[in-house]
Amino acid sequence: MKKVCTSFQEAVADIHDGATLMVGGFGLCGIPENTILALVEKGVKDLTVISNNCGVDDWGLGLLLKNKQIKKMVGSYVGENKEFERQVLSGEIEVELLPQGTLAEKIRAGGAGIPAFYTPAGVGTPIAEGKETRMFNGKEYLLEEALTADFSLVRAWKGDRMGNLVYRKTARNFNPMIAAAGRVTIAEIETIYEIGELDPNTIHTPSIYVQSIIQGTQEKRIERLTVSS
């Protein structure tokens, strides 16, 4: 059985200054929001964060950003965060932007133990500067190196005490590949089940990838609320 943490402070206790983190989610969907809040409270700093985006100004990774705890952000979309824009323009944060598919494959490759791969995305653009290119069947491809992290923080809908995880609908997004690419994976789970209670055929992330689990209730904020008049 995996380590079942009794508090989110315990779950993030080993995350240190200067660590590289991968964080699941897309927008605010499927983010490990309580784990992020625990990191804000802990005050750990100089983090390199790999995630699709950086939350919004007042929630998710945006809270770490606002607290000046992120040194470098690797992602594919940052358009919902004014504080992020301010820090970039003022030179307060280092940023590496990638095509979304490239980011996903770099994470997936890292989890699969594949050190690098070739992709046509980014050829002939600033993304290709300083990177190796190669021709395959008359088409130019760009070499991209895989990504791994010291810690992966993911959010699951269901999980058992062995660390097998099930994600809900679009909240799956980047979570499975991020769970595989961290040396230590901490899973924030909405409901923890006993071993044998989950159908093995529904498991998205096998327990081999997960080191610690913690149960928590999420607010599940809406990134852009649109209502009828």
Query: Could you tell me which CATH number the domain at 16-97+148-215 has?
Result: 3.40.1080.10
Cβ 63 vs Cβ 23: under 8 Å: no
Question: Residue 196 above 90 pLDDT?
Answer: yes
Report pLDDT digits (tens) over 75-120. 999 878 899 999 999 999 999 999 999 999 999 999 999 999 999 9
Question: Residue 1 above 80 pLDDT?
Answer: no
Cβ 19 vs Cβ 49: under 8 Å: no
Give, for 35, the enclosing helix (H) or strand (E): helix 33-42
What pLDDT does 161 receive?
96
Report pLDDT digits (tens) over 158-192. 999 999 999 999 999 999 999 999 999 999 999 99
The pTM of this model reads 0.95
The Cα–Cα gap between 194 and 184 comes to 22
Cβ 123 vs Cβ 99: under 8 Å: no
Residue with tokens 């069947």: 137
Domain locations along the chain: 16-97+148-215
What pLDDT does 222 receive?
86
- Burial label for 142, CB within 10 Å (0-12, 13-18, 19+), is buried
What pLDDT does 224 receive?
83
The Cα–Cα gap between 50 and 55 comes to 12
Residue with tokens 């494959």: 105
Question: Residue 2 above 80 pLDDT?
Answer: no
